[in-house]
Amino acid sequence: MTQDDIFQKVKATLVDALNRDDDEVTASSRLQADLGAESIDFLDIVFRLEREFGIKIPRGELFPESIFQGDPSLVAGGKITEKGLAELRDKMPFADPAELDKFAADPKLDNMGDLFTVNLIVRYLKAKLGA
Amino acid sequence: MQLKDQVALVTGGSRGIGKAIVQKLAAQGAKVAFVYRGAKDAALALQAEITAAGGVAKAIQADVADPAAAEVVVGGVLADWGRVDILVNNAGVIRDGLFIRMEADAWNTVIQTNLNGTFWFCKAVANQMALKQRYGRIINVSSVAAEHVNQGQTNYAASKGAVNSFTKALAVELGSRNVTVNAVAPGFIATDMSEAVRSKAGDFIEKKLVPLRRLGQPDDIANVVAFLAGPGAAYITGQVITVDGGLSLGAVTG
C-alpha cells in the first residue's frame, strides 16, 4: 500500500468519523483544532482505523494523549519538561521529527493536540503496516 | 410496531417489571433477548408466549452480577442478530435490613446486581452502540427509593442512587454518538419484589400515599420504557423519569 493509498483511506475514515466534507481533510489538518475532534472521536477514529486496515491499535499507541497525567516530572507549569519531551519522542517514533521539534519549542500541554494531525496517522499506519 | 426490526436486550426479564417490558417491546416489533437468573420455567414460558404471538424472543440464563456475563450475553445477541438497539438494565434485587445489622453480603449482592450489573451491560454494548451503530437506547430501571428512601434499604437506595448518577454521566459521554441513556424510577409496583412491603402496608400506601390511589402495575413501567426506546423519545437523554402515581410528591392524602 503506497503512502497515498493510506492517506486516501485515512481521509475517508475521518470524513465519516468526524462528519466532515472531503476537501476539509488535508495531510496537515489537526484533528482537534481543524477538524473539531472531541475525546470520544479519538476512540472512534482508532476503532475505524482498526477495522479499515485490519490491525490492532493498542490504547495510547497512536494518540498517547494521557501519558503525562499526574506526573510532575513530565509536566510543570502547564509545559512538558525535557524528560517529558524525551518520553514523547520515545512514545511516538512514527511522528515527523520536524513536527516534534516545532512542538518542543513551546511545549504547552494544551497544544499537544496540535501534534495529532492527519499526517501523523498516515505515518503511524505506514510504520505499522511496514509499507 | 414502532420498534420493528430493532434488537432489544432486557435483564431480569422473566418476571415482574422485566417481563412486562419484554412483552411490550416484543409487541412493538422488537426482537427481544432477555436475561433470567433462576426462573427458568417462567423464562421459557415467556419466550414461548411471545413466539406463539408471532414475536421473536430468546431467553438467556445469566447472573448480571457476574462480571463475565455481560460480554457473553451481548456477544451471543450480536452473533445471532447483528446489533443491539435497546438495552434495558432491569435486573435488581433487594436485601433489606437495618444497617447496624447489615452483613457485607447483603450490601455486596445488591451493589453487584443493581449497580455493577448495569455497568457491565452498558460496558458490553457501548462500543457497539456508540461506534459501530451510532444509535442506541439505554434504559436503566432505577427506583423512587433512590431519592425517597426507606428504612432498611441503605444498600438498595445507594445502588439506585448510583444508577441515577451513572445514567446522567453516561448520557453526557454517549450523546454525540446518538445513544440516549435514561432511567425509569418506579414507585410501588405490584410485583413479587414488593410483596413483603405490600402485605404489611399495601392498603395504607394505596389509600394514603399514592395520589392516583392504586399501586403501579408492571405495564405502567413497561409503557414508559417502550416510549424511551421508541422514536418519540429521540431528544430525551440523561433523565430519570419517575413513574409512581405521585408517591414521590410526599403528600398524605385522604
Confidence of residue A131 (pLDDT cuts 50, 70, 90): low
Using DSSP's 3-state secondary structure scheme, residue B216 falls into strand
Q: How confident is the model at residue B198 (pLDDT cuts 50, 70, 90)?
A: confident
Cα separation, B87 vs B74, whole angstroms: 10
Q: What is the pLDDT of residues B20-65, one digit of tens each?
A: 999 999 999 999 999 999 999 999 999 999 999 999 999 999 999 9
pLDDT at residue number B173:
97
CA atoms within 13 A of residue B100's CA, in its CB half-sphere:
0
Query: Looking at the domain A1-63+116-131, which fold is it?
Result: 1.10.1200
B177 touches chain A (CB under 8 A): yes
Residue B158 belongs to what H/E stretch?
Answer: helix B154-174
Q: Is B156 a catalytic residue?
A: yes
Sequence-separated (6 or more) residues with CB below 8 Å from residue A42 = A31, A63, A65, A116
CA B25, CA B8: separation in Å to the nearest integer?
A: 8
The pLDDT of B184-195, averaged and rounded, is 92
Is some CB atom of chain A closer than 8 A to the CB atom of B173? yes
Angle of helix B40-52 versus helix B16-27 axis, rounded to 10:
20
- Please report how many Cα atoms fall inside a 13 Å half-sphere around the Cα of residue A41, on the Cβ side: 19
Q: What ipTM describes this predicted complex? A: 0.78
How large is the average pLDDT for residues B235-254?
95
Q: Which CATH entry fits the domain spanning B7-191+218-242: 3.30.499.10, 3.40.50.300, 3.40.50.720, 3.10.20.740? A: 3.40.50.720
- DSSP assignment letter at B37: S
A-B contacts at Cβ under 8 angstroms:
15
Spatial contact of A13 and A52, defined as CB atoms under 8 Å apart: yes
The predicted pLDDT at position B42 comes to 97
Q: Where are the domains of chain A?
A: 1-63+116-131, 64-114
**Residue B35, all three cell numbers:** 436475561
3-state helix, strand, coil in chain B (%, to 5): 50, 15, 30
Q: Which of B36, B135, B156, B235 is catalytic?
A: B156
Model's pTM, two decimal places?
0.91
Residue A63 burial by CB count (10 A; 0-12/13-18/19+): exposed, middle or buried?
Answer: buried
pLDDT (tens digit per residue) in A53-112: 999 999 999 998 778 877 888 998 889 999 999 999 999 999 999 999 999 999 999 899
The least confident of A28-42, A62-76, B89-103 is A62-76
- In this prediction, residue B188 carries a pLDDT of 94
Which helix (H) or strand (E) element contains residue B48? helix B40-52
Please give the distance of CA B190 from its chain centroid, rounded to a whole number: 15
Q: Do B177 and A40 touch (CB under 8 A)?
A: yes
Identify from A13, A38, A40 which residue to disrupt to test chain B contact, counting B C-beta atoms within 10 A and taking the largest count.
A40
- What b/e readout covers B185-224, taking b as 16+ CB neighbours within 10 angstroms? bbbbbbbebbeeebeeeeeebbeebbeeeebbebebbbbb
Instruction: Answer whether residue B68 shows pLDDT above 90.
Output: yes
Strands B7-11 and B31-36: parallel
Spatial distance between the Cα atoms of A88 and A120, rounded to a whole number of angstroms: 14
**Among B54, B73, B27, residue whose Cα is nearest residue B225:** B27
| Rounded distance between C-alpha atoms, residue A19 and residue B31, angstroms | 31
Contact between B50 and B26 (Cβ < 8 Å) = yes
pLDDT of residue A34: 96
Site from B135, B176, B181 to mutate, A interface, most A CB atoms within 10 angstroms: B176
How many Å lie between the alpha carbon of B211 and the closest alpha carbon of chain A?
A: 44
Within 10 angstroms of residue B14's Cβ, the number of other Cβ atoms is 25
Query: What's residue B196's pLDDT?
Result: 82
